Structure 1
Amino acid sequence: MFDPKSLLDQFIGGLNQGNPNQQGTGQQSRGPFGQAGGGDLLQQAGSFLGGFGGGAMTGGIAGLLLGSKKGRKIAGSALTYGGMAVAGALAYRAYQNYQAGKQATPTVAAETPLLPPPSDTPFNPTQPADQQSLSRNLLRAMIAAAKADGHIDATEQTNIFTQMDRMALSAEDKAFVMDELRAPLNVDAVASAARTPEEAAEIYTVSLLAIDLDHPAERAYLAQLASKLRLENGLVAHLHATVEGATVPVNQPTA
């Protein structure tokens, strides 16, 4: 059975714990666009995640999707979180800082631990059905963002599908990723999935994690997404600052 929450953990939670020397695969756990900042969680799968031959964690799915894009990884306390919790924690902090009228300045994760959002809120739903629905929407947002620069063409899709066959994924997990990869890029569909302003912030957050902000097409995609999600300029700036503060380059040790 397809488990979106578990698959999201493999996209985000597993990214931070990949070990090149570890064998096997497993789970680990309203206005126009504002400012640019932040970065990717990943670098090329062959280095950050150890490559599939090295038995990387199943976070390698995202490594494949992002290919040779610049890489960043989660730092500090969020290292222990699963995918939905990471997205919720980042978006919740940005929301708090925005509502408090603070300046949108990156705060290093080691200096200010990233705390999980309150339970039973749109940032962190407790009902299983709500968790699965949110996780599915976040997965779709990440895959769409990974396609935003057009680098995942038919040849790259074939390579991704071949590599996924070597991973410990269910048939339903593979089918979901394949269907999303093959679907035309549709920013309206990604944005319309947000049921609340909080979910809109989380969708933007995970999209930001999968984007290379040096690429014009990806910056344009984020601008469209922020507008269609009806995110305030100030909140967008805080989302960028929060992601930037909570991530580090892949060649830098995490706190």
Structure 2
Amino acid sequence: MSLDSLFSSLSSNLKGSGKSDPKSLLGGLLGSAGAQGALGGAASGALVSVLMNGKARKKIQKNAVKVGGMAALAGVGYYAYQKWQQSRQDAPAATPVQVLPPASQDATPPPLPADLASASVQVKVTGELPMKMVLAMIAAAAADGTIDSVEMSALAEAIDNAPVEAAEKARLTSALNSPPTVEELSGLANGPEEASEIYGAALTAIEVDTPSEHLFLRRLSRALDLDEQLVATVHETLEKA
């Protein structure tokens, strides 16, 4: 099955499931200009389109068309992280703030992007980050059992057709069959910025309207050692996108 045929199939199979037409995002996701390495091209299009909930997809669709699906996805967490960093810089001296690891303390935060679109252009989506975000989305979707048999088949087909190495295909297939735990996801993050991007990706995969989804996000934020205000900023960023 071609990727175009796959998306046509998804369009009909996912009607009424609460997820909007995956093909509507093809222009940005299949290009994925902001991503390099694993899941940098067609793989991100198929996987992210199935995993992202309809509300989130609509909110970041314009950015995805411009900069690529993975850059738009990472932009949510990246923008939130930059806003949080800026708020810490602007906080009065007497206000207690979270102390970042030494490596982060020495780095001067870049200027705050004007908006989410600008953040999506600035964010660097390289190396393993695309894989990490997709793994987080799979774990989040599985938290409430929202990966049904139709979506599972579509994801398996997308992985099979994806132009990635056999090891990456095996890793994704394994994740579908046995979704990563929050502890496993926390071990993937290289610093608070990447942790924010991974958390933001997970957030786009669920509606956050069930106790199990709320619990998953609470556990994930703690496992990633994210500041509570930073978590709130990630949610606010996606809500106002």
Q: One fold, TM greater than 0.5?
A: yes
Q: 1:94 to 1:65 in 2, by over 3 A?
A: closer
Q: Which residue of 1 aligns with 2:117?
A: 114
CA deviation after TM superposition for structure 1 residue 113, in Å: 5.6
Q: 1:235 to 1:171 in 2, by over 3 A?
A: closer
Match of residue 82, structure 2, among 71, 78, 96? 96
Q: Which residue of 2 aligns with 1:49?
A: 22
Unaligned runs of 5+ in 2: 8-14, 31-41, 89-113
Q: 1:117 to 1:159 in 2, by over 3 A?
A: closer
How far apart are the structure 1 equivalents of 2:169 and 2:16?
Answer: 22
Match of residue 72, structure 2, among 86, 93, 115? 86
How far apart are the structure 2 equivalents of 1:197 and 1:43?
Answer: 37
Structure 2 residue 133 is matched with structure 1 residue 160: no
Structure 2 residue 236 is matched with structure 1 residue 241: yes
Unaligned runs of 5+ in 1: 1-21, 27-41, 103-110, 126-130, 247-255
Contact 2:141–2:205 (CA<8 Å) still a contact in 1?
yes
How far apart are the structure 2 equivalents of 1:195 and 1:176?
Answer: 19
CA deviations over 1:199-220 (Å, ceiling 9, x no partner): 1111101011111211221111
CA deviation after TM superposition for structure 1 residue 158, in Å: 5.7
Match of residue 128, structure 2, among 112, 130, 133? 133
Contact 1:78–1:114 (CA<8 Å) still a contact in 2?
no
Aligned AA for 1:151? T
Match of residue 72, structure 1, among 56, 63, 73? 56
Aligned AA for 1:217? S
Between the aligned residues of both structures, percent identity stands at: 30
Task: Give the number of equivalent residue pairs.
Answer: 187
Aligned AA for 1:124? K
Contact 1:91–1:201 (CA<8 Å) still a contact in 2?
yes
- When the two structures are superposed, what TM-score results if normalisation uses the length of structure 1? 0.58
How far apart are the structure 1 equivalents of 2:227 and 2:159?
Answer: 41
- When the two structures are superposed, what TM-score results if normalisation uses the length of structure 2? 0.61
Contact 1:90–1:205 (CA<8 Å) still a contact in 2?
yes
Q: Which residue of 1 aligns with 2:216?
A: 221
Of the two structures, which has the highest relative contact order with CA contacts closer than 8 Å and spacing of 6 or more? 1
Q: 1:124 to 1:63 in 2, by over 3 A?
A: closer
How far apart are the structure 1 equivalents of 2:152 and 2:116?
Answer: 40
Q: 1:178 to 1:232 in 2, by over 3 A?
A: same
CA deviations over 1:51-71 (Å, ceiling 9, x no partner): 9xxxx96634344446xx654
Q: Which residue of 2 aligns with 1:34?
A: none
How far apart are the structure 1 equivalents of 2:152 and 2:56?
Answer: 25
CA deviations over 1:15-43 (Å, ceiling 9, x no partner): xxxxxxx95679xxxxxxxxxxxxxxx98
Q: Which residue of 2 aligns with 1:124?
A: 124
Q: 1:135 to 1:48 in 2, by over 3 A?
A: same
How far apart are the structure 1 equivalents of 2:65 and 2:131?
Answer: 21
Contact 2:71–2:124 (CA<8 Å) still a contact in 1?
yes
Question: Which of the two has greater helix per residue?
Answer: 2
CA deviations over 1:215-246 (Å, ceiling 9, x no partner): 22111101100111111111111111111222
How far apart are the structure 2 equivalents of 1:198 and 1:175?
Answer: 27
Q: Which residue of 2 aligns with 1:200?
A: 195
